[in-house]
Amino acid sequence: MQVIYQNEHGLTFPLFEKTDVRGPSSLPLFQYLTQQAPFQGFDPQTKEGRFMDSFLRDKHPEIYADDGIKWNFSKFLIDRDGHVRGRFEVTTELSAIEAVIQSLL
C-alpha cells in the first residue's frame, strides 16, 4: 500500500514504500543529502566504528567506495533554512548529535 504525504507547502513524497537511497535510482533527496554531506568515514576511536569500517571494506567495498549512505540509520541534520549541517553514521553516539543540534538552536 502506498500512502502519499503532502504538507502545507506542497511537498509530497511516498510513505511506507521502499525507496533506493544509493546509486542512480536513489531519490533526489538522498542524492542531495550525500552531495552536501559526503561520507567522512567511521570513527576509528570506537569499537563500532572499527567494526563497520572493516566490515564494509571487506564484505561490501562497492558500498564503502563512494559517498552514498553506508548503512541503515545514517542521519542528516538539516537546519531550519534547509541547509545540511551534518551527517552522522550509524556508529555515531546520540550525544554527539545532540551537541550539534544545541549549537544550531
Dump pLDDT digits (tens) for 3-21: 677 788 888 777 667 788 8
- Over residues 30-48, mean pLDDT: 94
Nearest to 49 by CA among 99, 88, 100, 101: 88
pLDDT tens digit sequence for 47-72: 999 999 999 999 999 999 999 999 88
Domain of residue 31: give its range.
3-104
Number of domains present in the structure of the chain = 1
- Per-residue pLDDT, 2: 63
- Per-residue pLDDT, 48: 94
Could you tell me the pTM of the whole model?
0.77
Instruction: CATH number of the domain at 11, please.
Output: 3.40.30.10
- Per-residue pLDDT, 6: 78
